[in-house]
Chain A
């Protein structure tokens, strides 16, 4: 479904992505981890063309993200994305946040879009918050709204960019629970995260990045059992210490 081949990206002379190749099959959950500054977020943002890249190719269901003729808005509308800082639209209510993209991008009627929004909010346990503004919600609630907003577009796959990194510890689980449920329903997911508990529970594969390169791409058990690279071993020993 998502296929990156030999993607490289430079900020002037600094190479942020170094010949990255990665395949994500339909229904697969791939966790991308690595030290900060290793290019994880940049990699995931290349998948929906939010970050341009200079070399290589990204295909979504066979359609090239970087090609000139590609209708990027249409392509992006089928790939949900969840950001570290939620990025809900602060001037709209929770309901409108979820309804507006459906109306403007999928041409759904307002009633249809709001019904879908309410259904998803109900699923997230946030139905009573529909008329509130994002700033009135906790971080965990905001992130669940952001997930609902992405799901409302009926995406083929979901991209998560450190979805729990900006959350207080007690709110991390409410967001992870939603993500686990999604994974168990068979959603195709690429998740940048340091939450190794989540990775152990639902990931099919773990991709480890360092200095812009994909150092290791292994099945979950293989990765946690015996990571092949020294860098991945060191990283795991550091974050699994406590």
Chain B
């Protein structure tokens, strides 16, 4: 039996579109996850017990569940809550943001905690308000400290987006699977998907490694 990689060329537009869907899911989930995660982190670190308990509950709850379960669960539950059908793409996108925010929250919290207490004291002693002290003194250092971990989590997220297969969203893997079935060329297509993920993730993690080294003063 021979390999025929011509099918890739034949279906290139479909496959590229699938890859773009994967990228889009990843980027929107990262952005949403970081924003929500920052709020959760600030809540968890709040002196108000109610806020920190609520955020803690949310984070620990979501981090204890498999992603695939949350995707399924939200997919069947969300339409019942809002009262009308929700398309699969929106459903997984919201799920990813809610789910990833729990992980980003812990990364951001660790980043803020990594800034020395003396820096906080110095900022306050200069007369900066709490908000300005966070903004100009703590957060820039926190973000710098957590950037490598944040990016690593985002690479994992990119791989995890392939789970949307289970609800039929046409991301890269799902598209490849559809093409594989209709052309009966599964080996060529799965290999291509594997190599693509490998190249993207490897390049991204090398970038993270370089960032880490350039930060190690």
Contact = CB atoms under 8 A, between A and B. Distances in A.
A169 interface: no
Interface string B38-56: 0000000000000000000
A65 B156 CA distance: 49
Given A76-B126, A105-B127, A50 B141 contact: no
Contact of B132 (A87, A104, A150): A104
Chain A interface residue bracket vs B: 20 to 34
B121 A50 contact: yes
Interface in A2-30: none
Contacts, number: 59
A42 interface: no
A85 interface: yes
Given A91-B140, A91-B144, A101 B126 contact: yes
Nearest to A152: B126
B127 A89 contact: no
A72 B124 CA distance: 9
Interface residues of B, number: 19
Contacts of B150: none
A73 B124 CA distance: 7
A78 B126 CA distance: 8
B82 interface: no
Contacts of B11: none
B28 interface: no
A16 to B, nearest CB: 16
Q: Which secondary structure dominates chain B's binding surface?
A: helix
A87 B121 contact: yes
Interface of A: 45, 48, 50, 72-79, 81, 83, 85, 87-91, 100-101, 104-105, 135, 149-150, 153
Contact of A87 (B122, B128, B129): B122
A199 B49 CA distance: 46
B125 A149 contact: no
A118 B127 CA distance: 21
B90 interface: no
A90 B144 CA distance: 11
B136 A83 contact: no
Interface string B83-104: 0000000000000000000000
B122 A83 contact: yes
Interface in B99-135: 116, 118-119, 121-129, 132
B81 interface: no
Interface string B140-165: 11001000000000000000000000
Given A48-B125, A50-B125, A105-B128, 12 more contacts: A73-B124, A73-B129, A74-B127, A75-B127, A81-B125, A81-B126, A87-B119, A89-B137, A91-B144, A101-B127, A101-B128, A105-B127
Contact of B126 (A45, A90, A135, A153): A153
B194 interface: no
B128 A85 contact: no
